[in-house]
Amino acid sequence: MEISARLIEVPSSPIRKLLPLAQKAKSQGVTVFHLNIGDPDIKTPLPMIKVLKNWQINPIGYDLSQGNSRFIQSLLFYYHQLGHGFLDEKNIQVTTGGSEAIAMAMFAVANPGDEILVFEPFYANYNSYAVTSGIRLVPITTNISDGFHLPPAEVIRRAITTRTRAILYCNPNNPTGTVYTQTEIEMLVDIARKYKIFLLSDEVYREYVFDHRRQISLFNYMEKNPQNTLVLDSMSKRYSACGLRLGTLVTLNDKISSGVLKIAQGRLSCGLIDQEAASALSQLLPNYYTQIRDEFARRRDVLYPGLQAIPGVVIPKPEGAFYVIARLPVDSSERFCQWLLTDFRHRQQTVMLAPASGFYATGKLGQSQVRIAYVLNCRKLARAVELLKLALQVYPNTR
Amino acid sequence: MEISARLIEVPSSPIRKLLPLAQKAKSQGVTVFHLNIGDPDIKTPLPMIKVLKNWQINPIGYDLSQGNSRFIQSLLFYYHQLGHGFLDEKNIQVTTGGSEAIAMAMFAVANPGDEILVFEPFYANYNSYAVTSGIRLVPITTNISDGFHLPPAEVIRRAITTRTRAILYCNPNNPTGTVYTQTEIEMLVDIARKYKIFLLSDEVYREYVFDHRRQISLFNYMEKNPQNTLVLDSMSKRYSACGLRLGTLVTLNDKISSGVLKIAQGRLSCGLIDQEAASALSQLLPNYYTQIRDEFARRRDVLYPGLQAIPGVVIPKPEGAFYVIARLPVDSSERFCQWLLTDFRHRQQTVMLAPASGFYATGKLGQSQVRIAYVLNCRKLARAVELLKLALQVYPNTR
């Protein structure tokens, strides 16, 4: 009666595995500032909440496996407004969070033992989906010194083998906050076309780009590359509704669409209530998105100079999303993050960060780094930065 | 840019694949009686709906990966009331529908290429999860002639190989409506113990047993077999809330619990709204469950004699759940089910059934059989039976 070998291989989430320590601290009356997880404190839009308050549907039955029709129409409204008028109902598969979109995409493009290229540090949960679908993630390292931008094409080409089936990237990037340039995206599109591999673009943070940057969506290249491009999306961050568990897998490749629909039929449907609520996205004004973006930019402008001023901290200026990878003057960020929860207190407060090693696949990379999610308001964020500064002053294990 | 070979292998749902034909019929003004899918017309309990109407939480953020604390407490309340007081918070993993519970269980107990025994006809979606986790389902055939009860132990033992990791069964059974006796369940428990394999008990229809039968839960044997027993559960049928997408994986095996929690962390959390709503289950009176059971028994008492009276139809008396497998006097139930949707109309009405071949893994079994879900009220059900009778009278391809 042994459990499966692969169950042992599933990695613990670097974002969540320290939660028991946080809960213990809280039970001792300690306030924990959560910068470990991308769960923003911004309110979910009222039109979505109103759907709940005015709820009429009963029984709460299954929805269509592809997705609730009303929700798909509202998604099309959103994508069309962004300028991607070529997208049609049949191109959209609704998923249980962006998570399921990524898992389905991996399953759809690669067989067990096949390889998918990722740029490390990368969203740690990619590891989970890779293990559950038996795929090997092949990391291409990016560096804090150039703000984690992509390496030259030849570095990527060298990583391609006969088993390589896709390049998976996140733009704007979780965990680094990097926004890829048009040149970078076009490099990936060219490589994917040349080597006949898929491009999987995780665009969950599409709206969150700062300093007049533009997010270069893979949608811009989808009509010219209809067979090998997939966009993976989520409602979680855009509408500050992580608990809605809704995402999308978007592609013009009919074989992928009909294939993932079969997987979707197997799990019947996404939540009816969540889809009905999320359909209210079409009632939001265009300035909804810019308001949220500006709020994250303000937070970035608290976090970035604050961290920069701490001796020994190395931090690239975040360009988008609401994350940054920072290098701290500690030997092991894992031990430091634990210590923050178990030992460090200042006025009964501490801060929770995600150790960055879980975002790397290569050996010992990231051991002094942390991922910081700036999902708290500016006042709390300023205090969290102060706590981190105080903590580093007294941490016994600094270099 | 080929899609993965395994994506092609994912089976279409026999329950849902004819939906486009049904939608077309509806667009022509035809009323379709849906007996193809277990999506009951019974109302979701009002206390759950009230949670929506009184919604206060904002933002709708992630919940805990193991499950919402309030929801887990209400589940414990329910399981303890059933007499399983040994169950503790740590034994429960909340899942996105029973679907995820089954998928997680398969992944947890078997490696790619390993075998899991199932009794065919079996819930067709087991096939999807088997393909997505690379497992081979090994079918042991049960027969309409004895109401699809289990074969003798020696038949099951003969199917066990060195790759067999588990027996997965559903009790009360979807799709057959069979309720296994205490002798049958104890036979499975004995075999699993002797051969050191897991028992996965899908008990989604626990309450729905007729004619003074008792459902023999695997929970009754869990304390004596803590390492190899898993119960898979769902809120969908019990609370007529299929669209809530909530289930549970329950086990005393700590390695399984901590393993599936890692998978759960990878997909972050189940829906917050659904879990908050479902927590209201603890407000239901015990007679809630008997009322619903009695309603399904009444429906069974419309369906069963009605179908029995149709010449050429073979149907065992359903013992539980709200399904039955019936043999029809047709060569191909697949073609017949299609024809019902495309050609047959009586007073602009028709009926949708699920062809049973998709519930079998062995060759051509089930080709004259259909699965009927009696999820409509007695009046509609009587009309659906009448439609089926009329259809069989005029169907050109009867035997």
How many percent of chain A have pLDDT more than 90?
94
- Yes or no, beta carbons of A60 and B265 under 8 Å apart: no
Q: CA-CA distances (angstroms) from residue A351 to A16, A18, A324, A386, B30? A: 14, 12, 15, 10, 61
A41 touches chain B (CB under 8 A): yes
Interface of A with B in 228-247 (CB under 8 A): 228, 240-245
Mean pLDDT along residues A226-236: 98
ipTM for the complex shown: 0.96
pLDDT tens, position by position, B321-359: 999 999 999 999 999 999 999 999 999 999 999 999 999
Q: What CATH number does residue B12 fall under?
A: 3.90.1150.10
CA angle A331, A177, A292 (to 5 degrees): 130
Taking CA atoms, what residue in A is nearest to B260? A7
Residue B105 distance to chain A (closest CA, Å) = 10
Same domain, yes or no: B167 and B262: yes
| Alpha helix positions (H), A247-286 | 254-266, 272-278
Mean pLDDT of chain A: 96
- Yes or no, beta carbons of B243 and A272 under 8 Å apart: yes
Q: What CATH number does residue A181 fall under?
A: 3.40.640.10
pLDDT tens, position by position, B273-302: 999 999 999 999 989 999 999 999 999 999
- Yes or no, beta carbons of B266 and A242 under 8 Å apart: no
Same domain, yes or no: B82 and B31: no
Residue A247 distance to chain B (closest CA, Å) = 12
Same domain, yes or no: A266 and A152: yes
Model pLDDT, residue A286:
87
> Chain centroid to CA A364: how far?
22
Residue A226: inside a domain, yes or no? yes
Mean pLDDT along residues A357-377: 93
pLDDT tens, position by position, B213-262: 999 999 999 999 999 999 999 999 999 999 999 999 999 999 999 999 99
Residue B396 distance to chain A (closest CA, Å) = 31
Nearest CA to A124 among A296, A369, A396?
A369
* Residue B346: strand pairing partners: B349
Q: How confident is the model at residue B398 (pLDDT cuts 50, 70, 90)?
A: low
Task: Give the β-pairing of A323-327 and A247-251.
Answer: unpaired
Nearest-by-Cβ selection for B272 from A96, A243, A266: A243
pLDDT tens, position by position, A298-314: 999 999 999 999 999 99
**Best mutation site among B1, B42, B174, B254 for testing chain A: the one with the most A CBs within 10 Å?**
B1
B27 touches chain A (CB under 8 A): no
Per this entry, what is the length of chain A?
A: 399
Question: Using CA atoms, how far apart are residues B270 and B245, in angstroms rounded to an integer?
Answer: 8
Model pLDDT, residue A399:
46
Give chain A positions within 8 Å (CB) of B266.
10, 13, 99, 125, 127-129, 132
- Yes or no, beta carbons of A240 and B266 under 8 Å apart: no
Residue B49: inside a domain, yes or no? no
Question: Using CA atoms, how far apart are residues A109 and A227, in angstroms rounded to an integer?
Answer: 11
Same domain, yes or no: A218 and A265: yes
Interface of B with A in 143-182 (CB under 8 A): 165
Model pLDDT, residue B286:
87
A292 touches chain B (CB under 8 A): no
Mean pLDDT along residues A19-27: 94
Contact B314, B326 (CB under 8 A): yes
Residue B226 distance to chain A (closest CA, Å) = 11
Question: Using CA atoms, how far apart are residues B160 and B195, in angstroms rounded to an integer?
Answer: 8
B65 touches chain A (CB under 8 A): yes
Question: Using CA atoms, how far apart are residues A244 and A250, in angstroms rounded to an integer?
Answer: 19
Same domain, yes or no: A94 and A121: yes
Classify residue A258 as exposed, middle or buried by CB count within 10 Å of its CB (0-12, 13-18, 19+): middle
Taking CA atoms, what residue in A is nearest to B100? A267
Same domain, yes or no: B192 and B327: no
List, edge to edge, every strand of the sheet that includes B354-355: B323-327, B369-373, B354-355
Domain enclosing residue A109, as ranges:
46-283
Same domain, yes or no: B76 and B197: yes
Contact B249, B168 (CB under 8 A): no
Residue B190 has pLDDT above 70, yes or no: yes
Q: Could you give phi then psi for residue B166, rounded to 5 degrees?
A: -165, 160
Contacts (Cβ under 8 Å, ≥6 apart) of A37: A15, A16, A354, A373, A375, B62
Nearest-by-Cβ selection for B274 from A125, A198, A273: A273
Taking CA atoms, what residue in B is nearest to A53? B53
Which of A262, A283, A304 is the last residue before a domain boundary?
Answer: A283
A1 touches chain B (CB under 8 A): yes
Nearest CA to A324 among A117, A36, A8?
A36
List, edge to edge, every strand of the sheet that includes A369-373: A323-327, A369-373, A354-355
Classify residue A30 as exposed, middle or buried by CB count within 10 Å of its CB (0-12, 13-18, 19+): middle
Residue A397 has pLDDT above 90, yes or no: no
Q: Based on the structure, what is the number of domains in chain A? A: 2
A64 touches chain B (CB under 8 A): yes
A86 touches chain B (CB under 8 A): no
Residue B54: inside a domain, yes or no? no
- Yes or no, beta carbons of A60 and B241 under 8 Å apart: yes
How far is the first Cα of chain B from the last one, in angstroms, to the nearest whole number?
46
Residue B52: inside a domain, yes or no? no
Q: Could you give phi then psi for residue A246, rounded to 5 degrees?
A: -135, 135
Cβ contacts from A onto B, under 8 A: 257
Residue B133 distance to chain A (closest CA, Å) = 7
Taking CA atoms, what residue in A is nearest to B166? A1
pTM of the model: 0.96
Give chain A positions within 8 Å (CB) of B243.
59-63, 269, 271-273
Mean pLDDT along residues A380-384: 97
For residue B214, what are its two tokens?
């008792």
pLDDT tens, position by position, A244-280: 999 999 999 999 999 999 999 999 999 999 999 999 9
Give chain B positions within 8 Å (CB) of A42.
59
Nearest CA to B140 among B120, B122, B168, B158?
B120
Q: How confident is the model at residue A398 (pLDDT cuts 50, 70, 90)?
A: low
- Yes or no, beta carbons of B4 and A269 under 8 Å apart: no
Question: Using CA atoms, how far apart are residues B382 and B390, in angstroms rounded to an integer?
Answer: 12
DSSP collapsed to 3 states, chain B: CCCCHHHHHCCCCCCCCCHHHHHHHHHCCCEEEECCCCCCCCCCCHHHHHHHHCCCCCCCCCCCCCCCHHHHHHHHHHHHHCCCCCCCHHHEEEECHHHHHHHHHHHHHCCCCCEEEEEECCCCHHHHHHHHCCCEEEEEECCHHHCCCCCCHHHHHHHCCCCEEEEEEECCCCCCCCCCCHHHHHHHHHHHHHHCCEEEEECCCCCCECCCCCCCCHHHHCCCCCCCEEEEEECCCCCCCHHHCCEEEEECCHHHHHHHHHHHHHCCCCCHHHHHHHHHHHHCCCHHHHHHHHHHHHHHHHHHHHHHCCCCCECCCCCECCEEEEECCECCHHHHHHHHHHCCCECCEEEECEEHHHHCCCCCCCCCEEEEECCCCHHHHHHHHHHHHHHHHHCCCEC
How many percent of chain B have pLDDT more than 70?
99
- Residue for token digits 């009303």? A70
- Yes or no, beta carbons of A96 and B267 under 8 Å apart: yes
Residue A399: inside a domain, yes or no? no
DSSP letter at A376 equals S
B5 touches chain A (CB under 8 A): yes
Residue A54: inside a domain, yes or no? yes
Same domain, yes or no: B210 and B292: no
Residue A369 has pLDDT above 90, yes or no: yes
Interface of B with A in 293-332 (CB under 8 A): none
Question: Using CA atoms, how far apart are residues A52 and A346, in angstroms rounded to an integer?
Answer: 40
Residue A337: inside a domain, yes or no? yes
Question: Using CA atoms, how far apart are residues B127 and A288, in angstroms rounded to an integer?
Answer: 43
Residue A347 distance to chain B (closest CA, Å) = 27
How many percent of chain A have pLDDT more than 70?
99
Taking CA atoms, what residue in A is nearest to B126? A266
Same domain, yes or no: B358 and B271: no
Question: Using CA atoms, how far apart are residues A354 and A184, in angstroms rounded to an integer?
Answer: 27
For residue B181, what are its two tokens?
């006796």
Give chain B positions within 8 Å (CB) of A113.
none
Which of A255, A283, A311 is the last residue before a domain boundary?
Answer: A283
Q: How many CB atoms lie within 10 A of CB A347?
A: 10
- Residue for token digits 């490589």? A191
Residue B327: inside a domain, yes or no? yes
Give chain A positions within 8 Å (CB) of B93.
none
pLDDT tens, position by position, B151-182: 999 999 999 999 999 999 999 999 999 999 99
Which of A264, A283, A302 is the last residue before a domain boundary?
Answer: A283
Same domain, yes or no: B235 and B347: no
Same domain, yes or no: A207 and A356: no
B1 touches chain A (CB under 8 A): yes
Contacts (Cβ under 8 Å, ≥6 apart) of B258: none
Same domain, yes or no: B376 and B228: no
- Yes or no, beta carbons of B265 and A17 under 8 Å apart: yes
- Yes or no, beta carbons of A6 and B274 under 8 Å apart: no
Nearest-by-Cβ selection for B55 from A5, A52, A197: A52
Classify residue B83 as exposed, middle or buried by CB count within 10 Å of its CB (0-12, 13-18, 19+): exposed
For residue A182, what are its two tokens?
């048009």
Mean pLDDT of chain B: 96
Residue B141 distance to chain A (closest CA, Å) = 22
Give chain B positions within 8 Å (CB) of A59.
40-44, 240-243
